[in-house]
Amino acid sequence: HCPEQGKIRVITSPDRIEIANTGDALTFDEEKLFRRFQKSQDSLSSGGNGLGLAIVSQICETFRYTISYQYKEGFHHFILIFK
């Protein structure tokens, strides 16, 4: 989901992985990001986040990991903590 000529960063440590990519800010509430088939508030947009992040959330819950999201400085940041 990174735009053409966009940037992707991956930072790892023994207890976490952070994946960040450039892109436009979300057009819906961040709290709904990990729900399946969340759609944009823009009724003209056909985009949505499908099942992927909902599956990630379920895997994290099963293994007692923590997944979080934030958007800052033009990057979407997904942070997975293994503790």
Q: What is the pLDDT of residues 6-29, one digit of tens each?
A: 999 999 999 999 999 999 988 888
Side chain identity at residue 77, one-letter code: H
| pLDDT exceeds cutoff 80 at 80 | yes
pLDDT in tens, 25-76: 888 888 888 887 665 555 445 555 668 889 999 999 999 999 999 999 999 9
DSSP state of 39: B
As given in the structure block, the two tokens for residue 78 are: 């997904």
Tell me the pTM.
0.80
End-to-end CA, the chain = 27
Q: SS3 of 1, please? A: coil
In the chain, at which residue ranges do the beta strands (DSSP E only) sit?
8-13, 16-22, 66-72, 75-81
Of 15, 3, 6, the residue nearest 79 (C-alpha): 15
